[in-house]
Structure 1
Amino acid sequence: MILQYTYTRSDPRGHPPAHRTGLDLDLDLNRLAVFWRPLVDLTDSAYAPVRLRAVPLVSSWLARPQAARRSWFSMIGVPGQRHQVLRHAGLTAYDCADPTTLPPALRSEEWSVLVRTIEAFPDLSLPARALLVFHLAQLSYCGFAIRLCGDVRPTGDPDHDFYAHEVARVNARTPGRTGHALDVFRQLSDVCSDPLLALAACFQGIGHTLRSSGDLELARAFHRRGHHLLPRVATDDWHSNLVRSRFHRAVALLKLAEGDTETMRWHLTMAFAEHDALGAGGTPADALVLRENHRYLIELRLREALRHRPENAPVLGEQVYRLDPYCVDARLMAGDGFAAAGKWREAARRYAHAGELGTAAGAVGWFRAAQCLDAAGDPTEALNAMAHCLELDPTAVEPRTYLTNSVSRRFSLGSQKGERPSA
């Protein structure tokens, strides 16, 4: 069976349904809030994905803007994800397009810090602005962050250029803004006085080019510039090793896209070597950065296995899952690993685990689970999974068609036997 990885939507602009739980304002009892708590009110949860475990840390840094530090976290939010979570969790009272408009009664202390920082934006230092931009992106407020900052271009000043880099990262994750971001990354790679930040702009350029357009020539241009910068970046500094690892990972991704498997594996080996040089990480923030980087490296191994060595995919998918067990995307990847090897029931289990976390990605998880259950010879559970998909996304075309055809088929069979379809 060839798995259809996603479905089409009858209305791409459709809003996720708001599920009423009866626990709308009691976050401690809300099932989805357990997993998404940092996204709801910025407080911590042991069951949050790795990306969101960084939210309370960054909030604590913003509480002392005069001592603002740089964030080296890589993962940022999917635009609009907080809106999806809140509606699926029935927490619509927390839903707001502007963070400063959340009702005071619902604000945690961390949210109050966010509001005060936004209101003080014109007077913030450049490092504090960069940190605020990343924090807003963590919360999936990408469009709000872009409007707050405007068009930020590099100047050659290290603090200003890091700020421009963070704004460009948010633009790169926002539909219709990737081209603008790539232009800023190109400028950073040329004018930035810090070779480490210039190299970071190159790996961002490679990754976002491949993600958005697949323009191999543009990705190669960023690769050439990064290759020229690499000898100027230290080899015995923690942040330098981190950025060098990320650059080699981006080049490996480019080589995978080109079909050059041998060179891809060499760069991936180099990325792991730079990662191993980082050690265990001396602070909670460093430990999270390391976990992020490790997950990305295993993901790339999984991508290669899905193309060329599907027999290795289940083990790699499970490694991604163990690194980030409460992340919806990690659960999807674990399912992908089992599906590539034709292990349909194991794949369905991981896909269903993704679906249990809600959001548009969770809807996709239920859709994939349904196909795997169908392939495993369990049409009743496949119907159930398709129904769960529609509950999260009523605009899903193929799940609706599947359910409609199944009901029609059962009605037809029941009529031939003189039976009434069960209620």
Structure 2
Amino acid sequence: MTPLNRFYRRSDPRGLFPYLPGEPTLAHNRLAQFWRPVIDLSDTGYASLRLRMVAPLAERLARGDGRWPWYSRIAVPGLRSQVLRHAGLRRYDCRAPDGLPEQLRTPAWTNLLRYVGEFAEHDYPVRSQVLFHLAQLSYVGPALALAGEVAVTGQPSHDRYVYDVARLHARYPGRARHALSLFTALADHGNPLIALSARFQGIGHGLRAGDTTRAAWFAAPVKPAGLDDWYGTLVRSRFHRALALLRLRQGDRSSAVKELEVAGRLDVELAADPVEPLVARENTRYLLESRIEVTGEGAAALVALDPYCVEAWLVAGDGHAAKGELAVAAERYARAGEFGTASGAIGWYRAGQCFHLLGDTGRAVNAMGRCLELDRTAVEPQEYLSRHSPTARQAPLPGG
């Protein structure tokens, strides 16, 4: 099978995400149904698992609940702006949380701004909640500015906070190296929960940076002492999942499968008596994603667990494409495209390639055009339309 290009090139590295027509009221806006938590901290019941965490976190802040946040995935910077552009909700677009007009602020949004203003007055768990809250809204830059510079001290509560700040650095452009330095400093921490968490993150972000050697440094085993409660089991499952991806990158698929099996057994323990049900479901969700990458199996289970997640549909499509099931892959990619954002644009691009390989040029043209509707700087889709669409040859697309 001809391999798919996973990503298109951009004529402008920043991309161009236009404001598309959309109903101005959130209740009647199609994309708002799926992205409402990052728009105004409300929930519709149709958001992805990652975004379903936003409303409970807002409620936790409102109650003054000072527990640490244990959710895994952090939003990509700029995600909220992409959503609002593709939904046509210009009034909600703002560069920082306090830029949202007062008449559009929900009580949860107002409460978050209060915590931001009082940030230095709170203890480290609450600060971590506020930072994670901002990051889930894709305000990673403002969150880092609020956190300021941090360094490992050896004091567990403070260093758990450092770990959370390091996660923000890892998601912000140009800050991955600094994040890895903080994870390195935490990897041998006296608190085993912090140490193993840092090693899990170090492996993942090392692989994301293409540095397998650096990722392997974090793979040293950690003694299980102090890791036998629910949160210890959670972190151990995450660590073995990261090890599976490392072994896969090293070319040892059999070891990768074994590590996934260990992570899976630990995940079953988490789900049997979940202290935090959403955290447990999130762990299962990312374990399924890794299973698809390692074995090619689990696509149906992934989209069943997280049916409103653009990334879940992309990964499911990748799983089917890897097995040569192009027709199914194309449909999965097209479903991703319907959610908008840069990830949705990639979904349409991959769908277009699948349709082309299947000989369905009409659907391929449609998919490439839908990609360009979301990101007007996509080079390969423009080239495809130029080759296959007479109207595109007559009138070049704007933003190309």
Aligned-pair CA distance for 1:407: 2.4
8 Å contact from structure 1 (residues 54, 288) kept in 2:
yes
Aligned-pair CA distance for 1:194: 1.5
Structure 1 residues 320-355: Cα deviation after superposition (integer angstroms, max 9, x where no partner) = 111211000100111112222222222111111100
Structure 1 residues 343-398: Cα deviation after superposition (integer angstroms, max 9, x where no partner) = 22221111111000000000011111111111222111111111110000000001
**Distance in 2 of aligned mates of 1:244 and 1:230:** 11
Aligned-pair CA distance for 1:2: 2.0
Equivalent positions of 1:21-60 (< 5 A) are 21=22, 23-24=23-24, 26-60=25-59
**Distance in 1 of aligned mates of 2:129 and 2:192:** 21
* 5+ residue gaps, structure 2: 395-400
Structure 1 residues 140-169: Cα deviation after superposition (integer angstroms, max 9, x where no partner) = 111111111111112122221111111100
Q: Cα–Cα, structure 1 residues 15 and 281, in superposed 2: closer, same or farther, change >3 Å?
A: farther
The answer as to 2:316 corresponding to 1:334 is yes
8 Å contact from structure 1 (residues 338, 344) kept in 2:
yes
The answer as to 2:149 corresponding to 1:159 is no
Aligned-pair CA distance for 1:74: 0.5
Rg larger for: 1
Structure 1 residues 78-130: Cα deviation after superposition (integer angstroms, max 9, x where no partner) = 11100100010011111111101211000011111111111111212111111
The answer as to 2:302 corresponding to 1:303 is no
**Distance in 1 of aligned mates of 2:198 and 2:19:** 39
Match of 1:417 in 2: none
**Distance in 1 of aligned mates of 2:281 and 2:66:** 23
Structure 1 residues 174-226: Cα deviation after superposition (integer angstroms, max 9, x where no partner) = 11101101111111123x332111111111111111111x22222122112xx
Aligned-pair CA distance for 1:20: 2.5
Question: 1:274 is matched with which residue: 262, 266, 276?
Answer: 266
The answer as to 2:338 corresponding to 1:356 is yes
Letter in 1 for 2:69: S
Percentage of matched positions with identical amino acids: 49
The answer as to 2:235 corresponding to 1:243 is yes
Structure 1 residues 249-286: Cα deviation after superposition (integer angstroms, max 9, x where no partner) = 11111111111122222211111111112233445xx2
* More off after superposition, 74-83 vs 373-382: 373-382
Equivalent positions of 1:91-240 (< 5 A) are 91-190=89-188, 192-212=189-209, 214-224=210-220, 227=221, 229-235=222-228, 237-240=229-232
8 Å contact from structure 1 (residues 280, 287) kept in 2:
no
8 Å contact from structure 2 (residues 34, 339) kept in 1:
yes
Across the aligned residues of Structure 1 and Structure 2, the Cα RMSD in angstroms comes to: 1.7
Letter in 2 for 1:221: W
**Distance in 2 of aligned mates of 1:282 and 1:297:** 16
8 Å contact from structure 2 (residues 365, 389) kept in 1:
no
Aligned-pair CA distance for 1:14: 3.1
* 5+ residue gaps, structure 1: 306-312, 413-423
Match of 1:68 in 2: 66
**Distance in 2 of aligned mates of 1:377 and 1:240:** 51
Match of 1:395 in 2: 377
8 Å contact from structure 2 (residues 274, 280) kept in 1:
no
Letter in 2 for 1:95: D
Counterpart secondary structure, 1:63: helix
TM-score, normalised to structure 2's length? 0.95
Aligned-pair CA distance for 1:27: 0.3
Match of 1:10 in 2: 11
TM-score, normalised to structure 1's length? 0.90
Letter in 2 for 1:160: H
